[in-house]
Chains A and B, each alone.
Chain A
């Protein structure tokens, strides 16, 4: 009795440490196995069940194969063999697959259903994301980052400018392709506040690898406050360096491609920069958002992101780059 209890305790402990190791291996802010939303949660559970069943089936089948070839190569009864073909080849898959299908199709999400209200339109570009939050006062334009309230099912309306992309936030749920000239829908719900990472999943050319974005799931109040701030135009430069940076921005023609609302910069080719200073990443998830990341990005776009349309501004002296970075970082 005691021996058995001790054994089971050791078993639990070993199991627990294995599970811990596994959990550590599964965690990550882009991991489908570390869910932070309703859909991802269901799918992670489904995966666990499926992978366990698959492991058992695999062991049985290959064990049987090993047994009949190595352990017991003598002749066995014909009846047993026929039974195996019918039982293993027909009955077992019918039952198991039938059950799995019933479960799988019952959780098939209907992405065309409206969510809890918030609609975010995302358009795939080469290789960045154009983002628009629909509000009663009109669209709030942003880029390369998604913010969404926790506990609310958000509808994403997706399309693309030139080639096919795919919108995917593994921590929250499955992906959906984005087509030029065709609209697709996806709805997701975040259940835990935090910062996650999404990435394009459909091969889209040279820098497919560098087409990512940050997702921040926020408490609803914080989200409302953020959205209101995001809707506002950019504030004036704060201090000397930022003002110089703004002049360089104008001189280099950055406003031809980029929009900064509340200024004369009205370009629509590249990402909106109105509040770029408050974002978590630069270059669609390519770099962080520290001051030096701004100057690195501006000077080395083509090295950092092969094929990108924005030319590198490596002819600018370092102090001008720093001033430009200060201006952009100041766009909070």
Chain B
């Protein structure tokens, strides 16, 4: 209980829950009136109905969006796979001229970028959106429209990026985009990469925020953190990693695009820039990315293995700690991608050791699975075959990883086909195989039908053998001296035969995928409905109805164990009868229960938004804002940006945090809950908190860049350079501080029943924010960012702060309007509390920015 109050301390305006909690065994055992249950089911069914006809595409339900998202990611994977086949065909024989050097470079750049950004990360998010609510017995994700928005962004951005290859303008500087090669590339390729993928990264972060909130706040009553399914733990860890890994890349993208569009020399060594800065920013993202891809697959294995062993996982806490440990360590390894850049030996030694350290948490997770299988009575199934194949491949990749982490050995193997082999072993074994295992395992949940066992075995053996035929020889061709990313090679160096073998293997893999896709797309027509829990699993997702009912779960259960289906034989029957919580929807609206972070005590009923087109419109405008600058069309981009903001404000205004009709509502089992929450009880507040963590990380990356230049270059800042106007910087800082005070004050006086004063404070705060943005801009007008990296980076920080101050003003005005038009009242003040939270972060960032702009020139020169 003490934990609960610490994390979810009652906010003064919110009423506490009323009635009985936790429910007694007698209450749960009491039978339901069948007539009542049927009436409830009908109301629920109407509330959660999926639109039909062309309106189907306005759905926002996780079961719809999750399926679209997953299938889209699979399509991008197949396209990137076709590119790989072309790459292999070109390399089948020496001096081949099937594709030109230019096209080849586009192909391998796109293959890597698409597999990473359009498949590996999105597939985690899409699968999680699809199954996380069912794993924790929730009706839906906490913000379904955000999932839909994220999906449409992903679709538009993905088509834009991958489509560029059909117009022969795809990026061609490698998926790592090293400057100066990528900054000097004359075509639009690099801009397509930077802007298109930034757009998708923003959507990825949005999905990560939602998934984290889903795992933290949408668990069923009673499911404390230490009994939640391991998959939810991995969602938390991976979501957290996305929050800290993607922002450095987004900050890097911003600098990179400023260099390409406006010639600000962040990475140009002739004007004080440094190409290595990009490598640091890229790999601070890039290495955690590997674990962002790998951990979700471990999560799938962690769900399948206990089912196969028919007993609870061995070492639950060990696995959780290892996952968290892997997440942490993965941020300390990035330099092993840069071992050959001439760093001092002390760095090489440190990062070698850190890279090896990650073996331990990974080993614990794998051995915990083996241990679970040992103590259980193993009942093999098709998904387990894929997990076993994945393990065989992944361990080989892990062992070559141990070799590569030894810096001197990496001097030989780096940037050769040995690394190509290594990374495909880890990603195929650690990601593709477990994902396919997950598809087979969860298909009875998604389509309510089993995929073919026979075809599954065929595709397994084709992909497994094809994979090894393709990639095993690459270890050798790499050590025989074959570098990566070569569009062709001379004969007679001992590489010919191995390349030919690799090419043959690639087509065997392709045959396996063709069978898998055929089965995936047609199994619905070929097989009958499965029973409800075909594998005999013990977790909540297997309580879903067959055929699927749109409500997800008929009633939200009270959970006290890790494998409730194994521990409580009556659970499913009682859930079906609507015995548990929210078995009814009196108003026929979509709702779910939000619970506390640690103990999962029910807190309030969250209304869930329904089908809408506005997410699609908002995604289209956001896409325009990112895509037009690729072609240097800044006016259309600006207009799209403004329209995107207007659309999003409309969306928020109409459907989020509206004051409820009644303060409390009955949720069943003798419990009444509030229908509104603000502050730390509400899901929205947590989403703001988590988003701002990511935002602050991006900002920290910009500050890191300043100090990176300073440590790496003795002449930074260069002698005689102009500095920001100290007076104006100080004024900007003071304005931000006052604007923060006004927002904070508005929140307090509003709570104490003085909305008029709050409105005045908000209006004043908005003016101060805009003044801060102006002073910040004015302070750097004397700097010419094209001349040197020093004025350029300070100007970039100014842009960042200016945009954030303007956003802050917009939020203040939004609250002002809310208060004026009755959306925001002293009691229902979620918007104002979230905006205050934004301002806490922004004020701190502004303080740091002002200190950097104002003091650094004094201290560093």
Contact = CB atoms under 8 A, between A and B. Distances in A.
Interface of A: 25-33, 39-40, 42-43, 46-47, 50-51, 54, 57-58, 61-62, 64-66, 68-70, 73-78, 80-82, 84-85, 88-90, 92-94, 97, 100-101, 104-105, 107-111, 162-164, 166, 168, 170, 173-177, 179-182, 184-185, 197, 199-209, 285, 306-307
Contact of B360 (A28, A89, A208): A89
A179 B269 contact: yes
A66 B364 CA distance: 18
B799 interface: no
B480 A85 contact: no
A106 B308 CA distance: 45
Of the candidates B181, B388, B400, the one having the most CB atoms from chain A within 10 angstroms of its own CB is B181
Contact of A28 (B269, B480, B483, B485): B480
Contacts of A208: 105, 483, 485-487
B412 interface: yes
Interface residues of B, number: 85
A182 to B, nearest CB: 7
A57 B342 contact: no
B340 interface: yes
A201 B375 contact: no
* A163, A180, A285 pick with most chain B CB within 10 angstroms: A163
B269 A180 contact: yes
B380 A205 contact: no
A57 B363 CA distance: 12
Contacts of A51: 403
A33 B479 contact: yes
A174 B100 CA distance: 30
A201 B367 contact: no
B377 A74 contact: yes
B363 A58 contact: no
Contact of B275 (A75, A105, A180): A180
Contact of A184 (B178, B342, B494): B342
Contact of B494 (A27, A93, A174): A27
A71 to B, nearest CB: 10
B288 interface: no
A54 B400 contact: yes
A85 B367 contact: yes
B409 A50 contact: yes
Given A90-B364, A108-B407, A163-B181, A182 B269 contact: yes
Chain B contact residues: helix, strand, loop or mixed: helix
B397 to A, nearest CB: 10
Given A31-B479, A75-B376, A180-B180, A88 B349 contact: no
Given A65-B391, A68-B374, A81-B372, A306 B100 contact: yes
Given A69-B308, A81-B374, A105-B349, 11 more contacts: A31-B493, A32-B479, A46-B408, A65-B392, A73-B380, A85-B368, A90-B364, A175-B412, A179-B276, A203-B485, A208-B485
Most buried by A among B178, B349, B391, B486: B486
B493 A76 contact: no
A25 B495 CA distance: 9
B748 interface: no
Nearest to B413: A32
B408 A78 contact: no
B181 A81 contact: no
Nearest to B365: A89
Contacts of B340: 166, 174-177, 201
Contact of B411 (A43, A197, A199): A43
B493 A28 contact: yes
Interface stretch (B73-81, B351-359, B538-546, B623-631): B351-359
Given A82-B315, A89-B367, A181 B375 contact: no
Contact of B412 (A32, A75, A205, A209): A32
B493 A197 contact: yes
A170 B412 contact: yes
A206 B400 CA distance: 30
Given A111-B342, A197-B493, A75 B377 contact: yes
B49 interface: no
Contacts of A197: 481, 493
B851 interface: no
Contacts of B548: none
A199 to B, nearest CB: 6
The 3 closest A-B pairs by CB, nearest first: A174-B411, A181-B269, A30-B481
Nearest to A111: B342
B480 A104 contact: no
A43 B396 contact: no
Contacts of B38: none
Contacts of B374: 68, 75-76, 80-81, 84
A101 B353 contact: yes
Interface centre among A78, A100, A203 (most CB of B within 10 A): A203
B392 to A, nearest CB: 5
B480 A73 contact: no
A164 B416 contact: no
Which of B340, B365, B396, B482 gathers the greatest number of chain A CB atoms within 10 Å? Answer: B340
Interface string B490-510: 100110000000000000000
A203 B342 contact: no
Given A29-B493, A203-B484, A306 B371 contact: no
A100 B345 CA distance: 17
A114 B40 CA distance: 83
Interface in B72-105: 100-102, 105
Contact of B493 (A30, A46, A166, A168): A30
A70 B373 CA distance: 11
B106 to A, nearest CB: 11
Contacts of B341: 177, 179, 184
Contacts of B181: 163-164, 203-205
Nearest to B105: A206
Nearest to A184: B342
Interface string B467-484: 000000000100111111
A26 to B, nearest CB: 7
Interface string B379-404: 11000100010011001100110110
Listed residue (B174, B184, B348, B483) with the most chain A CB atoms within 10 angstroms of its CB: B483
Contacts of A80: 374
A88 B322 CA distance: 14
B847 interface: no
B414 A201 contact: yes
Contacts of B308: 69
A82 B173 CA distance: 48
A307 B481 contact: no
B399 A57 contact: yes
Contacts of B483: 168, 199-201, 208
A108 B415 contact: no
Interface in B271-316: 274-276, 308, 314-315
B703 interface: no
Contacts of B388: 65-66, 69
Given A28-B494, A93-B363, A101-B406, A68 B368 contact: no
Contacts of A105: 349, 352-353, 406-407
9 contacts: A31-B494, A40-B412, A62-B392, A89-B318, A89-B364, A105-B352, A164-B178, A177-B341, A203-B105
B489 interface: yes
B356 A108 contact: no
Contacts of A27: 494
A221 B174 CA distance: 44
Nearest to A196: B481
Contacts of B378: 68-69, 73
Nearest to A66: B388
Contacts of B482: 30
Contacts of B416: 201
Given A32-B481, A85-B367, A108-B349, A209 B101 contact: yes
A185 B458 CA distance: 52
A181 B364 contact: no
A201 B410 CA distance: 12
